[in-house]
Amino acid sequence: MAVQGTCTVVVGCQWGDEGKGKIVDVLAEGVDVVARYQGGANAGHTVHVGDNEFILHQIPSGILHAGKRCLLGNGVVLDIRQFFDEYDALESRGIALEGRVGVSSRAHILFPYHRLMDRAAEDTASLKIGTTGRGIGPAYEDKAGRRGVRVADLANRERLEELVGFALDRIRGRLDQIGHGSGQELDDLMGEALSLGDRLLGLSLDTGAELMATLRAGKRVLLEGAQGTALDLDHGTYPFVTSSNTTAAAAATGTGIGPTAIDSVVGVVKAYTTRVGEGPLPSAFDPAMDAHVRELGGEFGATTGRPRRCGWFDAVLSRYAAQVNGLTGLAVTKLDVLDTIPELEIVTGYRLPDGSVVESFPADTWSLGGIEPVVERHPGWNAPTSEARALSDLPSNARAYLHRIEELTGAPVQWVSVGTQRSQIIPVG
């Protein structure tokens, strides 16, 4: 049957924190359903509505628009306790959620032992990834290891007890071995998480079926990714990545629809680059500029509060992101943060130690530590942009900078964000 509605994916094209929350919030206005397709409480999507700041970790940012339906797909690993804390906190701030949130019955549950394992693994690892400590890696390991617990399992007490029992035996042994976690703490946390099982079952459904019915009814769907392309398990800077596929193709597998149902893919890039956690940042600023832009852009993690490392816009990465995500358009965020920088650079290639220049993103993550970025210089605009609401309101140097990003990436700029507020957005074209 032909699909009549429209389905758009919003995907991060750097190392996460590109401002997807703001873009999803803006685009959500024009859709009927928003669904998250991967990740878990490692994400932190910050949205400003008037004087209120909301940081959403698991519930899609579309929830801040009254009446929109928000789903968490099967590709998500769901931390039950954290999910309901977030749910209740939104309600206590006046957001009505009744009948608006659904969770895939096929989503895997992230239990407190996954968090303990994540922290224990980071503390004892010789190669640290700098995870968010939210249990994401261990939860996806259980999923791939075919021993995970899914939302649907909550309906069968016997099977649930058996699955959780196996997991606890395995995890206690491992935690004892490395001297982490106390048995009592774990029992308490598990009791708390399992007591929320029935409440979660009440929200469970088949996200693919609902999304396809929505599209067939001629309505509009937005699929929201978390993290970014360079953190994708397959395509990112492995092993310094998250444990799921963050890229656009995962929007289909992570919600239960087919790839042919997707019409467009909007890639979100910051006007510069940031990274939190371990791993290379090829376009990194020098220390003084790093500190300056971190301050200007408020570059501290929404989930962990960690300072983000900052660098120039990296077109090698954005071009790669256009390829792996099949981008049909770009949303450029935080342009206003660059308003006072006298001269800007864009990285267009990586010079290898043998002097040759590569313009494609290398598979060997370690080689990124030895490259020298090849840069183009662009004059700054030295004027405020936060009041601009049309491309023509922007200084010509800012327009030229955006045009160059578009040219180097190979995808048209469709949105430019110039501040944290909903209204601070420029629709292009």
State yes or no: residue 247 binds ligand IMP (CB under 6 A): no
243 binds ligand IMP (CB under 6 A): yes
Q: Is 38 one of the binding residues for ligand IMP (CB under 6 A)?
A: no
User: By C-beta, is 129 or 215 nearer to ligand IMP?
Assistant: 129
Question: Is residue 164 part of the contact set for ligand IMP (CB under 6 A)?
Answer: no
> Looking at 33, 101, 129, 324, which residue binds ligand IMP (CB under 6 A)?
129
**Binders of ligand IMP: how many residues, by CB under 6 A?**
21
Q: Which of 17, 86, 336, 406 binds ligand IMP (CB under 6 A)?
A: 17
Q: How far is the CB of 246 from ligand IMP (least distance, A)?
A: 9
Phi then psi dihedrals of residue 199, to 5 deg: -65, -40
Annotated catalytic residue 45: yes
Is 16 or 349 the residue whose CB approaches ligand IMP more closely? 16
Query: To which residue do tokens 């004027």 refer?
Result: 383
* Residue 216 burial class via C-beta count within 10 angstroms: exposed 0-12, middle 13-18, buried 19 and up: middle
x/- mask, ligand IMP, residues 254-283, rule CB under 6 A, reads ----------------------xx------
**Footprint on residues 197-226 left by ligand IMP (CB under 6 A):** 226
Only segment of 125-133, 194-202, 254-262, 375-383 that touches ligand IMP (CB under 6 A): 125-133
**Binding region for ligand IMP (CB under 6 A) out of 26-34, 237-245, 323-331, 357-365:** 237-245
Check residue 46 for interaction with ligand IMP (CB under 6 A): no
- In terms of CB distance, is 204 or 303 closer to ligand IMP? 303
* C-beta closer to ligand IMP: residue 277 or 349: 277
User: Of the candidates 24, 34, 136, 293, which one interacts with ligand IMP according to CB under 6 A?
Assistant: 136
| Interaction of residue 43 with ligand IMP, rule CB under 6 A | yes
- Smallest distance, ligand IMP to C-beta of residue 3, A: 30
Q: Which of 32, 45, 114, 118 is catalytic?
A: 45
Q: Which residue is nearest to ligand IMP (CB)?
A: 277
Least gap, CB of 141 to ligand IMP (angstroms): 11
Residue 235 is among the residues annotated as catalytic for this protein: no
- Residue 131 interacts with ligand IMP (CB under 6 A)? yes
Examine residue 21 and tell whether it contacts ligand IMP (CB under 6 A): no
- Can you give the three-state secondary structure of the chain, one letter per residue? CCCCCEEEEEEECCCCCCCHHHHHHHHHCCCCEEEECCECCCCCEEEEECCEEEEECCCCHHHHCCCCEEEECCCEEEEHHHHHHHHHHHHHCCCCCCCCEEEECCCEEECHHHHHHHHHHHHHCCCCCCCCCCCHHHHHHHHHCCCCCEHHHHHCHHHHHHHHHHHHHHHHHHHHHHCCCCHHHHHHHHHHHHCCHHHHHCCEECHHHHHHHHHHCCCEEEEECCCCHHHCCCCCCCCCCCCCCCCCCHHHHCCCCCHHHCCEEEEEEECCEEECCCCCCCCECCHHHHHHHHHHHCCECCCCCCECEEECEEHHHHHHHHHHHCCCEEEEECHHHHCCCCEEEEEEEEECCCCCEECCCCCCHHHHHHCEEEEEEEECCCCCCCCCCCHHHCCHHHHHHHHHHHHHHCCCEEEEECCCECCCEEECC
Residues tagged active-site: 17, 45
Footprint on this chain of ligand IMP (rule: CB under 6 A)? 15-17, 42-44, 129-132, 134, 136-137, 226-227, 231, 240, 242-243, 276-277
